[in-house]
Structure 1
Amino acid sequence: MFPLFKKKQKIKGTVVLMCKNALDLNDIKAGPSLGAGFGLVRDVVGGVIDGATAILGRSVGLQLISATKTDRMGNGFVGDQFFLEKRIPFLPTLAARQDAFSVYFEWDNDFGIPGAFYIKNYTQGEFYLVSLTLEDIPGHDSITFLCNSWVYNAKQYRKDRIFFANKPYLPHEMPAPLVNYRHVELDTLRGDGTAKREEWDRIYDYDVYNDLGNPDKSRDLARPILGGSSKFPYPRRGRTCRKPTKTDSASERPATDTNYVPRDEVFGHLKQADFLGFGLKGLNQNVIPKFRNFFDFDKEFDNFEEVRCLFEGGVKLPTDIISAISPIAMVKEIFRTDGENFLKYPPPHVIQADKSAWMTDEEFAREMLAGVNPCVIQRLQVFPPESKLDPNVYGDQTSTITKEHLEINTDGLTVEKAIQDERLFILDYHDAFMSYLKYINKPIPKSYATRTILFLKDDGTLKPLAIELSLPHPDGEKYGAVSKVLLPPEGHGVQRTIWQLAKAYVVVNDACFHQLMSHWLNTHCVIEPFIIATNRCLSVVHPIHKLLQPHYRDTMNINALARSSLISGGGIIEQAFLPGPYAVEMSSAVYKDWVFPDQALPADLIKRGMAVQDASAPHGLRLVIKDYPFAVDGLEIWDAIKAWVKDYVSLYYKTDVAIQRDAELQEFWKEVVEIGHGDHKNKPWWPEMNSINELVESCSIIIWLASAFHAAVNFGQYPYGGLILNRPTMTRRLIPEKGTKEYEEMEKDDQRAYLRTITPKTEALIDLTVIEILSRHASDEVYLGKRENDEWTADEKARVAFKRFAKKMEDIEKKIESRNKEPDLLNRTGPVKMPYTLLLPTSGEGLTCRGIPNSVSI
């Protein structure tokens, strides 16, 4: 090391960090006694910080690295090590539990301008390094290093921890003294694909979904490997390097206490999801078994009033369930506060204004446009509806719905005319479920594959015309389907009950498709490969890394939790949703037809026939249903996202050639296509990433999926589905046949017949508990149009462009609120008088049914 400092001039640095303390629940294991873990939390809150920070004095060393002067090897000079000094006692601008320390570096002109720094932690505990700000550099403005990373004891790392100044550089623009440091840091993040992953590791790598089953525990818990084959294609997940199962060397052992994710992807201190993730584990391991034991003698709701009692009076529970569920209750506030042992849920939005409007045909149809799954309905363009299932395997699966079924309710229009006038629509789950019904309906038949045809009325609302319920042919799949077509009845009586049941089968198809495909697959799952590729291939100083990183926050962590508790073999989804052990496998079948460019909202709407290109219309599209809340609000947000991305990208790329010559960007896209989504690598629809337009469109799709689209399909889960009557997750029997005992019961008691068919009590409580967790916003959520730190980049032009985007989001919020008040837009509130708020950009904490977080964070 050369002597660097001659004049020993001082420059001041301010380091902001958060010390680790027992509130970090990622280190509390979900074991038999959940209450003990939370007791630990309560004992330590408020008393740890001062003692911990006092230890840090002179135990954390920093070395500046020059961006303008090099050593003999051509790398930036590394200065001497200097230590943090005593804590600054008070800085009012700092967030909760953040502490500021001073550090003074010796500097002279021969060192040049700092562009990076090493940090070494000599304490035994880790801390979260927020930032370093350098001041008093002669002839230079202050320099900010945004770090946002956990730093462990220096001995845990093979390479010293390095952080770069907060200025973006394309690879060829990086100051020469820092180029090698940039490469070394990316190599560290990639790892070498081997060795056990430790909690302090920051390695991003790919793997298939081979950890959902647990064949060592039970043969019934074996699950197929998803990804890496044409039979079960799937996006890649983060590699954990756990050992294989004893039963199947190709399958990885499921996580026990924790599921490895790169350390900086783990939930932060303030995130409520720390508690929520902990609660999910406890729910699966402790609460659900007790629910089952307690409700074994009382499996059914007797009437609709008993279901509503969950929100009004609660369910009295024994002490052991109270003890097991109390940690979850700390987060969810699901107990009464009067000392009684009652489980009580908040009233879902769908019944807050009207308790029975959910039963209407109008609301049934409206939720296809403005509910929690508004992205599946299509315009009917071919009649009768056709199937894409292989006829050599499944025979003729063409719909049995006839023109006569429909034309009695199409206001005098023929089917041909109604199709021509763009007034017929279909919610089609036939193919997705038909190929799995032979498994789902064992040992006894319990559900159907459904098609629902709807008519666009003159007032802009939809009315259902027919529901087709289909089963595999009893002589074998190759003989096609056995179907029945049900029409809306007039008046009441048993036909009305049968129609209500038919709608329930449709909604169960919809609820399962929503949870497994629209939500899990099309947001959580497909985004993870982009996160991995970004961190492996794009340096933190790359402009595109800075653009995309906020939209990745917490996603790998919540996905890891999902693999261990929600979508795992025998997990919560398998217990509470119709497909059971075939749930995630079904999403693989849907992924076969996944097309990346079609995830853009305009392309999606056009593909589903819900919009047509029209240069004279807003957004260049004419919506077939003008009052389609998801599309109307979504297109404004999509356009705002794309305009922001275009503004930002134009700051760094002036020509298409610049895109082509960006080695990091090209490697990023190569990994996404060939590895992250490698089961689709040979598809012709992938953008080649050779132009500015391709980069803008691709980044816009990533941001849309991670933010607005996820919000649209996630935060309405409890507001709509918290009433299990409105969105049941399973059916348990087919429509009773005339002359049977069940048919007689249906004639006598329509509510009991409905409740005997849909989700029973235990599974309903499981479902409600989970979706309430998933529908809540954390206290530290960052919403679209916001950043955690206003100094997220040193590029002033980029910050100005982002302010324009933030202003657009504010304007969009006002427009949505205004539209929700327009009386002629009937689909925005519907019979339940529930405004469409899921794409309002901002939200407060909790269960709000609004707000667009930047990322798939829960």
Structure 2
Amino acid sequence: MEVPKKPSSGISKWQCSSAKSKIVNNFNPICQAVQKLTLKGKFVITLNQKISIPGKFISVQIYSGTEVDPNTGKGWLSEKAYFKERRKNQKYQHDDNDDTQTKIKTYKIKLHVDAHFGTPRAFVIQNKHNKKFYLLSASIETCTNRIIHFDCNSWIYPIKKTKFDRLFFSNRCYVPSQTPRALLELRNDELDKLRGNGMGERKEWDRIYDYDYYNDLGDVDKGSEHFRPVLGGSRLYPYPRRVRTGRKNSTSGTSRSQATSFDIYVPSDEIFSPKKLKELKSNSIHAIVQLLPSKTESLPQQSSRSVQSFEEILNMLSRNRNQTIEGWIRDNLKKLVPNEDLKEITHAIKENHMHDPIPQNIYENEWAWNDDMEFGRQMLAGTHPIRIQCLMTFPPQNKFGVQSSIKQSTIEQMLEGWTLHQALEQGRIFMLDHHDYLMPYLNRINANGVCAYASRTLLFLRSDGMLKPLTIELSLPGSSLALEIHRIFLPSKQGTQAALWQLAKAHVLANDAFYHLLVSHWLYTHAVVEPFILATKRRLSVMHPIHKLLNPHFKDIMHINALTRHILINSGGILEKILFPGETCMQITCDLYKEWKFTEQGLPADLLKRGMAVENLDENNPNGIQLLMLDYPYAIDGLEIWAAIKSWVNDFCSIFYKDNEAIEADVELQAWWSEIRSIGHGDNHNETRWYQMTTLSNLVEALTTLIWIASARHAVINHQKHSHNDNSPTLCRKFIPVEGTVEFGEFLKDPDKFFTKMLPDRFETSLGLALVDLLSKNTYDEMYLLKCQPSHGWIDNEIVQNRFAEFKEELKEIQIRILQRNKDPKLKNRRVPAKIDHNIVYPKMPSSGSRRWNHGKRSVL
């Protein structure tokens, strides 16, 4: 029993525990009315240095989580207490690239509550100032010195805008059936507010999560060429849902109007911090500035579209002098960025001396990308190692049964003594397939000034674990869907065939760049995750343990997705400019979404689907599969991470769910899973594509898959593009010439010149490189898997905290093993010709610059 502090003047000022209060009350009847307990609070906020909010404008009231007020049915609510500033603890975060600072300020409160108040478990905060601020965290100290933690990470807007006080719950988790009565109504009311009513245009300060179609990618008010179909809600254009903004329709009434600035709506809890948004803009400007021609360079005439040499591309990648936006660049940029941002770019160019080094892969060996073995290696260990598949039958064929024209005799002589039958049986023939999904669109694509093929690339697994390219098949549509025009290209070291082979590889890389950026990265990572975020915020209380587990992995995704809709995938946006499908980009992703199954997104299931592994149900094998390749870094390193995540998720869930019946009885969990399938992914709701949320094992598999998509898988496909993918054209301007034609004569006269003319023009190249540079940058508040919970007190459960500490230790051990494998000279796929360490699948970013694991900043895509 705690001894109360000695009163300074009279019994009414005593501070004591509730147990002591009961003792005093037995002796003094009037103590019931005057006995008070003291609660102390500490609130940490961030502000721009130029903003100051006096504490008298910010008030807090605390809710009991254990004792119910019979008049309201909710926990007892304290009187208001106002912020008092702790000036001596004020800190500043400096931005090295800017003169501004972000203030981190700590405020205190002290208030008194009745002795029967119970344990604080929630508070409401009210901002009567006219400026918003960012609440990082809060803690409340009881009179028994117990600290109640609150991870807030939320904007607090003026009450005159929101009309509601902002409610926060402590870090204690409860499944719905175990929620204390004092918090139950608060829990349900908060979820109702977050769901909204589906009406009206959303404002910056709203915290409303509801669904909408992708109906804002086109804007016919800008001209008929900006018409784009609505994605989602139809059999022709199925798509995941996005957050509803409620913006008004275009004047034609066919779609929502496009946003006109970066202030596109996302719920206020999803908005970047001011420092992060400023850093993102700075990175964007920096990326563009580095890749613009200097005024001393001779600029191409309007009639000349192509870059002139490989050296010119290298010059774009490394420049250290003052630059200015020339007229032709400015005209192109005006179509892509708002005027106010163009002014900022212009100012930066005039005032700053910026330097961006040559990517390391080029710096070490500028022709490394031209090597056939590097071409194959990148399919296993580059930035897009998730498309390659093992070939099961030969020859490949399309969905109509039309077979490839690749002949057995053509490739068998390159199999190093194996017969084709033996190589297929032993899983040594692999394919990079960009054929079926492109074929229906090629006539339309090629009518818009680009020259695209559908491609199949076959490779052979050598004894040293590396992939040797065998052949490239490039196809065009024939007179009917069942007929195709095929051309076969073989590797060669010199002469005309070698030059043709280089052209064929460029077309394959353009195919892969499109699939990488818009399918693997955008659609299968960002777009498919947004409905999970919406359902989590709408159906799982912040007190729900699954909400607590998932929330760090959702950081910033919705804001990034909103900017993506506004800048990258909209009509006339950057990706339509630099990727060969142009205006058909998003329609192709609709077709590929039809193939998407959530049950195939986990790493083991994905490897099985692509034939890169076979089932192995040995009890000592945690993943249930066996890889066909001993040197496939993405799979080998990734499976260790997958197993660690799954073990952690299983232990976490087992703490809150003791059996399968508890899973089915969780009303919030069931509503969450149902809404994800029936609304968020309503165009892809077939039950065979989803786990049934009836068992603990299915819950663990679903959560592990979701965390994998949002963390490790995303890190792989968005890792160090600038240093590794400098050799991937995003479109081609010429077909490969056919012997006997005038173009073939031009090609024979100067193959290198023909190749450079086939590449994107200067502006497209600059824009593509700027985008790659931007996507590869980290921001100050990156979230890593090793630090995917914001603080030690992220959950008020000691068992969970201890298990999470074990999980972090597992990741550190995996990290050590990855570094050891990177040093193994026998594992040749882990090092490029430039001798860059393979660190794509890496749980923590070391000082050398490895990519993050979780979804902290997502760049713009």
Same fold (TM over 0.5): yes
After superposing the two structures, state which structure 1 stretch, 87-96 or 144-153, moved more: 87-96
Alignment check: 8 A CA contact 2:490 2:497 kept: no
Match of 2:842 among 840, 843, 853: 840
Match of 1:508 among 510, 523, 526: 510
- For the residue of structure 1 that corresponds to 2:692, the secondary structure is coil
User: 2: CA distance between counterparts of 1:287 and 1:727?
Assistant: 16
Q: CA deviation at 1:159?
A: 3.4
Give the structure 2 partner of residue 623 of structure 1: 627
Give the structure 2 partner of residue 775 of structure 1: 776
Give the structure 2 partner of residue 387 of structure 1: 398
Give the structure 1 partner of residue 753 of structure 2: 752
- For the residue of structure 2 that corresponds to 1:89, the secondary structure is helix
Q: CA deviation at 1:274?
A: 3.8
Alignment check: 8 A CA contact 2:291 2:770 kept: no
User: 2: CA distance between counterparts of 1:288 and 1:664?
Assistant: 52
User: 1: CA distance between counterparts of 2:33 and 2:577?
Assistant: 66
User: 1: CA distance between counterparts of 2:215 and 2:623?
Assistant: 42
Match of 1:656 among 660, 685, 693: 660
**Which AA in structure 2 matches 1:586?**
I
User: 1: CA distance between counterparts of 2:448 and 2:130?
Assistant: 56
- For the residue of structure 1 that corresponds to 2:455, the secondary structure is strand
Give the structure 2 partner of residue 377 of structure 1: 388
User: 2: CA distance between counterparts of 1:293 and 1:328?
Assistant: 26
Alignment check: 8 A CA contact 2:455 2:473 kept: yes
User: 2: CA distance between counterparts of 1:94 and 1:6?
Assistant: 45
Match of 1:665 among 657, 663, 669: 669
- The answer to whether structure 1 residue 710 and structure 2 residue 711 are counterparts is no
After superposing the two structures, state which structure 1 stretch, 585-594 or 93-102, moved more: 93-102
User: 2: CA distance between counterparts of 1:830 and 1:605?
Assistant: 23
- For the residue of structure 2 that corresponds to 1:630, the secondary structure is helix
**Which AA in structure 2 matches 1:130?**
L
Give the structure 2 partner of residue 31 of structure 1: none
* Percent identity over paired residues: 40
Equivalent runs, 1:245-264 vs 2, <5 Å: 245-247=250-252, 249-257=253-261, 258-264=263-269
Give the structure 2 partner of residue 643 of structure 1: 647
User: 2: CA distance between counterparts of 1:435 and 1:496?
Assistant: 30
Q: CA deviation at 1:823?
A: 0.5
**Which AA in structure 2 matches 1:12?**
K
User: 2: CA distance between counterparts of 1:441 and 1:597?
Assistant: 35
Give the structure 2 partner of residue 356 of structure 1: 367
**Which AA in structure 2 matches 1:360?**
D
Give the structure 1 partner of residue 222 of structure 2: 217
User: 2: CA distance between counterparts of 1:380 and 1:4?
Assistant: 80
Q: CA deviation at 1:561?
A: 0.3
Q: CA deviation at 1:382?
A: 1.4
Equivalent runs, 1:441-590 vs 2, <5 Å: 441-443=446-448, 446-473=451-478, 476-489=479-492, 491-590=493-592
Give the structure 2 partner of residue 68 of structure 1: 66
Q: CA deviation at 1:776?
A: 0.8
* CA spacing shift, 1:821–1:132, aligned 2, 3 Å: same
Deviations, residues 564-614 of structure 1 (Å, cap 9, x unaligned): 001100000000110100111111111100000100000000000001112
Alignment check: 8 A CA contact 2:66 2:119 kept: yes
User: 1: CA distance between counterparts of 2:315 and 2:673?
Assistant: 52
Deviations, residues 343-377 of structure 1 (Å, cap 9, x unaligned): 85432232232221211110000100001110011
Alignment check: 8 A CA contact 1:318 1:341 kept: no
- For the residue of structure 2 that corresponds to 1:745, the secondary structure is helix
User: 2: CA distance between counterparts of 1:93 and 1:221?
Assistant: 45
Alignment check: 8 A CA contact 1:720 1:727 kept: no
After superposing the two structures, state which structure 1 stretch, 421-430 or 351-360, moved more: 351-360
- Aligned length in residues: 808
Q: Which ranges of structure 2 fall in alignment gaps of 5 or more residues?
A: 1-30, 95-101
User: 2: CA distance between counterparts of 1:653 and 1:93?
Assistant: 43
Alignment check: 8 A CA contact 1:706 1:856 kept: no
- For the residue of structure 1 that corresponds to 2:811, the secondary structure is helix
Give the structure 2 partner of residue 15 of structure 1: 43
- The answer to whether structure 1 residue 684 and structure 2 residue 712 are counterparts is no
Q: Which ranges of structure 1 fall in alignment gaps of 5 or more residues?
A: 22-46
After superposing the two structures, state which structure 1 stretch, 77-86 or 140-149, moved more: 140-149
Alignment check: 8 A CA contact 2:608 2:614 kept: yes
**Which AA in structure 1 matches 2:495?**
G
Deviations, residues 212-260 of structure 1 (Å, cap 9, x unaligned): 111111111111111111111111111000011122x341111112210
Q: CA deviation at 1:716?
A: 2.8
User: 2: CA distance between counterparts of 1:77 and 1:806?
Assistant: 39
- The answer to whether structure 1 residue 784 and structure 2 residue 785 are counterparts is yes
**Which AA in structure 2 matches 1:351?**
I
Q: CA deviation at 1:505?
A: 0.7
Give the structure 1 partner of residue 420 of structure 2: 415
User: 2: CA distance between counterparts of 1:267 and 1:210?
Assistant: 24
Alignment check: 8 A CA contact 2:778 2:857 kept: no
TM-score, with structure 1 as normaliser: 0.89
* CA spacing shift, 1:468–1:625, aligned 2, 3 Å: same
User: 1: CA distance between counterparts of 2:351 and 2:141?
Assistant: 58
Equivalent runs, 1:736-747 vs 2, <5 Å: 736-747=737-748
Deviations, residues 472-492 of structure 1 (Å, cap 9, x unaligned): 11xx33351100111112x41
User: 1: CA distance between counterparts of 2:622 and 2:464?
Assistant: 21
Give the structure 1 partner of residue 405 of structure 2: 400
User: 1: CA distance between counterparts of 2:857 and 2:137?
Assistant: 25
Deviations, residues 502-549 of structure 1 (Å, cap 9, x unaligned): 111111100101111111011111110000000000001110000000
TM-score, with structure 2 as normaliser: 0.89
Deviations, residues 445-476 of structure 1 (Å, cap 9, x unaligned): 61210001111111111111111010011xx3
Alignment check: 8 A CA contact 1:785 1:802 kept: no
- For the residue of structure 2 that corresponds to 1:615, the secondary structure is coil
* CA spacing shift, 1:421–1:329, aligned 2, 3 Å: farther
User: 2: CA distance between counterparts of 1:312 and 1:565?
Assistant: 25
* CA spacing shift, 1:636–1:856, aligned 2, 3 Å: farther
* CA spacing shift, 1:74–1:460, aligned 2, 3 Å: same
**Which AA in structure 2 matches 1:744?**
G
User: 2: CA distance between counterparts of 1:283 and 1:214?
Assistant: 27
User: 1: CA distance between counterparts of 2:656 and 2:346?
Assistant: 48
User: 2: CA distance between counterparts of 1:286 and 1:464?
Assistant: 35
User: 1: CA distance between counterparts of 2:190 and 2:248?
Assistant: 27
Alignment check: 8 A CA contact 1:329 1:335 kept: no
* CA spacing shift, 1:254–1:445, aligned 2, 3 Å: closer
* CA spacing shift, 1:693–1:250, aligned 2, 3 Å: farther
Deviations, residues 47-95 of structure 1 (Å, cap 9, x unaligned): 425xx0xx42211111111122222232112111111123342267999
User: 1: CA distance between counterparts of 2:230 and 2:32?
Assistant: 56
* CA spacing shift, 1:281–1:583, aligned 2, 3 Å: farther
Give the structure 1 partner of residue 305 of structure 2: 299
* CA spacing shift, 1:749–1:832, aligned 2, 3 Å: farther
Q: CA deviation at 1:803?
A: 0.9
Q: CA deviation at 1:410?
A: 1.0
Give the structure 1 partner of residue 85 of structure 2: 86
**Which AA in structure 2 matches 1:523?**
T
**Which AA in structure 2 matches 1:648?**
F
User: 2: CA distance between counterparts of 1:730 and 1:264?
Assistant: 38
User: 1: CA distance between counterparts of 2:286 and 2:598?
Assistant: 36
* CA spacing shift, 1:320–1:416, aligned 2, 3 Å: closer
Deviations, residues 650-707 of structure 1 (Å, cap 9, x unaligned): 1111101111000111111011000011111134231111111111111111111111
**Which AA in structure 2 matches 1:369?**
L
User: 2: CA distance between counterparts of 1:290 and 1:229?
Assistant: 48
